[in-house]
Amino acid sequence: MNHKSGANCPKRNDSPVIYGHGSRAMDDHNTPVSPPSGRRPTLSQVAAAAGVSEITASRALRGGGLVAKATADRVQAAARDLNYVPNRLAGTLAGGSSRQVGVILPSLSNSVFADVLNGLEDRLEDAGYQPVLGISNYDPAREQRLIENLLSWRPAGIVIAPADMTEASRALLVRADLPVVEIMDVDAAPTDMAVGISHHSAGRAMAHYLLGRGYRRFAYLGHAIDSDLRALARLDGFRGALGEAGQTLAQCLTLAGSSSVKLGREGLARLLAEAGQPPDLVYFSNDDMAVGGVFHCMAAGISVPGDLALAGFNGLEIGQALPVPLTSIASNRAAIGIEAARHLIERFTGGTPEKISDVGFRLIPGKTA
């Protein structure tokens, strides 16, 4: 439901205004309020306040009905009064299973991973788990270091979008002997579980679609593809399907740097400049790049798809909001995060989810190809 308001949108009282860039000294560092008895309250203090033993307090606070209602109420009241915040480090150390989940992603500048993380966080949080994050920047060494670091927190599980795992990384995960979900790609055999789509198939599917639309002179424009294994898999599938149909990739340009609208825009300009006979379709490594391509065409007066057709991957919102919606493949990103969370949680609760879960993709016809 939308609500509008004529010329009187929400206002707020005038607040202090700071112009430009600068910083204020940390002068009046207000002393922390109430360091009550030196430290933060512990369970034993709560127990004492409620007149019960530590373990009873523990049980009362964790719930589970092992404690008489009246007692439990008393304990909870005491905890509230003392502003007790449990120490899960101690709890986990003593009791066993952590409620943290290690999450390793190759990047966050790509909105794809942000979407996955969003879905993942939401479900984990609801189940009482907290993600501990690491970004590998597509660097296998950093990825390995992250795995070690995260494991040292003894997480309940790991979710990883592998960049290019070293053998050592894989060994670490295997030895750790905890649920591990490898996300994004289901083409390779996972260490433990995998949730994602087949990027190889996605590439093939797009090729089939485009062949069916009658395109014949294909070009590819990609970003630093060596470190993006999934983009490589799509290209591989794309080219494979072309080959089976007796076609080839007439032109193929990959640019250093991570994918972006800007790179796609500049890249397309360059690709067309270098082309002998221009392609009738350009397949981009993803939607960011493809949207850049659309922008180039707009600016250069190239009619899409009349003069040149464009196709991407991911089904990003921006591509669909374009004046001419982008031909792409919806990669079901949020579903991957949600599904990964489900796998972990199921495992935590004693279940045995499928080893490989393919959330599937969907071709979006769009209007650019």
Partner DNA sequence: GCATTCAATGACAGCGCTGTCAATAGGGGC
Partner DNA sequence: GCCCCTATTGACAGCGCTGTCATTGAATGC
* Residue 275 sits in the site that holds a second copy (CB under 8 A): no
- Are β-strands 249-254 and 281-284 bridged in parallel, bridged antiparallel, or unpaired? unpaired
* Residue 108 sits in the site that holds a second copy (CB under 8 A): yes
Only one of the segments 63-71, 116-124, 128-136, 298-306 lies at the binding site for DNA (rule: CB under 7 A); that segment is 63-71
Only one of the segments 45-53, 61-69, 73-81, 171-179 lies at the binding site for a second copy (rule: CB under 8 A); that segment is 171-179
* Residue 27 sits in the site that holds a second copy (CB under 8 A): yes
* Residue 141 sits in the site that holds a second copy (CB under 8 A): no
* Residue 325 sits in the site that holds DNA (CB under 7 A): no
* Residue 38 sits in the site that holds DNA (CB under 7 A): no
What would the two tokens of residue 40 be?
């933060």
Q: Which of 57, 78, 181, 233 binds a second copy (CB under 8 A)?
A: 233
Residues 6+ apart with CB under 8 A from 71: 50, 52, 56, 60
Q: Which of 63, 73, 81, 95 binds DNA (CB under 7 A)?
A: 95
Q: Which of 201, 286, 327, 331 binds a second copy (CB under 8 A)?
A: 201
Residues 6+ apart with CB under 8 A from 309: 210, 213, 215, 280, 281, 282, 327, 368, 369
* Residue 12 sits in the site that holds a second copy (CB under 8 A): yes
- Which of DNA, a second copy, none does residue 43 bind (CB under 5 to 8 Å by kind)? DNA
Report whether the peptide linkage leading into residue 41 is cis, meaning its omega lies within 30 degrees of zero.
no
Is residue 250 within 8 A of residue 313, CB to CB? The reply is no
Q: Buried b vs exposed e over 47-56: b needs ≥16 C-beta within 10 Å?
A: bbbbebeeeb
Q: How far apart are CA 62 and CA 45, in angstroms?
A: 16
* Residue 367 sits in the site that holds DNA (CB under 7 A): no
Q: If we measure between CA atoms, which residue out of 101, 145, 162 comes closest to residue 342? A: 101
Least Å distance between CB 86 and DNA? Answer: 5
Q: How far, in Å, are 88, 159, 247 from residue 184 at the CA level?
A: 31, 10, 29
* Residue 241 sits in the site that holds DNA (CB under 7 A): no
* Residue 98 sits in the site that holds DNA (CB under 7 A): no
Cβ count within 10 A of residue 327: 28
Q: If we measure between CA atoms, which residue out of 327, 350, 354 comes closest to residue 196? A: 354
Q: Which of 39, 273, 276, 301 binds DNA (CB under 7 A)?
A: 39
- Which of DNA, a second copy, none does residue 354 bind (CB under 5 to 8 Å by kind)? a second copy
Least Å distance between CB 69 and a second copy? Answer: 24
Q: Is the Cβ of residue 87 or residue 109 nearer to DNA in the bound state?
A: 87
Residue 284 DSSP SS3: strand
- Note the residues at the interface with DNA (CB under 7 A): 39-40, 42-44, 52-56, 58-59, 61-62, 65-68, 70-72, 86-87, 90-91, 93-96
